[in-house]
Amino acid sequence: MKLSMWTYEGPPHVGAMRIAASMTGVHYVLHAPQGDTYADLLFTMIERRPSRPPVTYTTFQARDLSGSTADVFKTACRDAVARFQPQALLVGASCTAELLQDDPGGLARTLDVSVPVVPLDLPSYQKKENWGAGETFYRMVRTFAGPTTRPTDIAANSCNILGPTSLGFRCRDDVTEIVRLLSEEGLDVRVVAPLGASPADLARLTEAAFNIVLYPEIADAAARWLKKTHGMPFVSTIPIGIGATEDFIAEVRALAGLAPSDDEATQRSGRDRLTWYARSVDSNYLTNKRVFIFGDATHAIAAARIASQELGLRVCGLGTYMREFARELREAAAGYGVDALVSDDHLEVEAAIIAARPELVLGTQMERHIAKRLRVPCAVISAPVHVQDFPARYSPQMGFEGANVIFDSWVHPLMMGLEEHLLQMFRDDFEFNDGAAASHLHPHTADAVEDAAAVVAAATEDDTAVWTFDAEKELKKVPFFVRGKARRNTELFAATKGIRPITVETLYDAKAHFAR
Amino acid sequence: MNQPLPSACATTLSVTPSATIRQRGQHEVFCGLTSIIWLHRKVQDAFFLVVGSRTCAHLMQSAAGVMIFSEPRFATAIMEERDLAGMADMHDELDQVVARLLERRPDIRMLVLVGSCPSEVIKFDLTRAAGRLNAHYAPRRRVIAYSGSGIETTFTQGEDNFLAALVADQTTVPAARSAAKLVVAGCLADVVEDQFSRLFAALGLQDIVFLPGRKAIDGLTIGPDTRYVLAQPYLGATATALEARGAQRIDAISPLGGEGTTAWLGAIAHAFGVNPARLESVIAQPRKRAEQAMQHYRPWLDGKRIFLFPDSQLEPSLARYLHQELGAEIVEVGSPYLHREHIAGELALLPPGVAISEGQDVDVQIDRCRQAQPDLIVCGLGLANPFEAEGRITKWSIEFAFTPIQGFEQAGDLAELFARPLVRHRMLTGRSRHQEAAP
**What are the residues facing A4 on neighbouring strands?**
B76
What pLDDT score was predicted for residue B392?
97
Q: Does A460 touch chain B (CB under 8 A)?
A: no
Q: Does A351 touch chain B (CB under 8 A)?
A: no
Virtual torsion, Cα A173, A300, A192, A174, nearest 10 deg:
10
Residues in chain B within 8 Å Cβ distance of A386 = 65-66
Average pLDDT, chain B: 90
Minimum Cα–Cα distance from B57: chain A residue: A6
Encode pLDDT of B327-349 as tens digits.
Answer: 999 999 999 999 999 999 999 99
- Estimate the crossing angle of helix B257-271 against helix B411-429, to 10 degrees: 170
**Residues of chain B above pLDDT 70, percent:** 90
**What are the residues facing A160 on neighbouring strands?**
A211
Kindly tell me if the per-residue pLDDT of B86 is higher than 80.
Answer: no
Interface test with A, best of B49, B58, B155 (most A CBs within 10 A): B58
Cβ pair A38:B63 closer than 8 A? yes
Strands A55-57 and B222-230: unpaired
Residues in chain A within 8 Å Cβ distance of B158 = none
Cβ pair B75:A48 closer than 8 A? no
User: Is there a contact between B240 and B164 (Cβ–Cβ < 8 Å)?
Assistant: yes
Question: Ramachandran region of residue A170, left (φ > 0), alpha (ψ -120 to 50) or beta?
Answer: left
pTM (2 decimals)?
0.90
Encode pLDDT of B147-167 as tens digits.
Answer: 999 999 999 999 999 999 999
Cα–Cα distances in Å, from A3 out to A495, B99, B132, B333? Answer: 35, 10, 19, 40
**Whole-number CA gyration radius for chain A:** 26
State residue B391 phi and psi, 5-degree precision.
90, 10
**Residues of chain A above pLDDT 90, percent:** 67
What pLDDT score was predicted for residue B218?
75
Cβ pair B53:A36 closer than 8 A? no
Cβ pair A1:B77 closer than 8 A? yes
Residues in chain B within 8 Å Cβ distance of A367 = none
Facing residue for A95 by CB, picked from B54, B63, B386: B54
Question: Distance, in angstroms, between B102 CA and closest chain A CA?
Answer: 11
Residues 361-400 of B with CB under 8 A from A: 363, 381-386, 388-389
First to last CA, chain B: 42
**Is the previous residue joined to A151 through a cis bond, with omega within 30 degrees of 0?**
no
Encode pLDDT of B6-63 as tens digits.
Answer: 443 333 344 444 678 888 899 999 999 999 999 998 999 999 999 999 999 999 988 8
**Residues with Cβ within 8 Å of residue A484, at least 6 apart in sequence:** A357, A451, A453, A454, A457
Average pLDDT, chain A: 89
Q: Does A76 touch chain B (CB under 8 A)?
A: yes
**Reported confidence tier of residue A264, pLDDT bands at 50, 70, 90:** low
What one-character DSSP code corresponds to residue A467?
A: B
What pLDDT score was predicted for residue A464?
60
Task: Give me the mean pLDDT over the A28-32 stretch.
Answer: 97
Cβ pair B96:A62 closer than 8 A? no
Q: Does B80 touch chain A (CB under 8 A)?
A: yes
Encode pLDDT of B238-265 as tens digits.
Answer: 999 999 999 999 999 999 999 999 999 9
What pLDDT score was predicted for residue A88?
96
Catalytic residues of A: 282
The whole-angstrom separation of Cα B144 and Cα A428 is: 53
What pLDDT score was predicted for residue B217?
73
Q: Does A369 touch chain B (CB under 8 A)?
A: yes
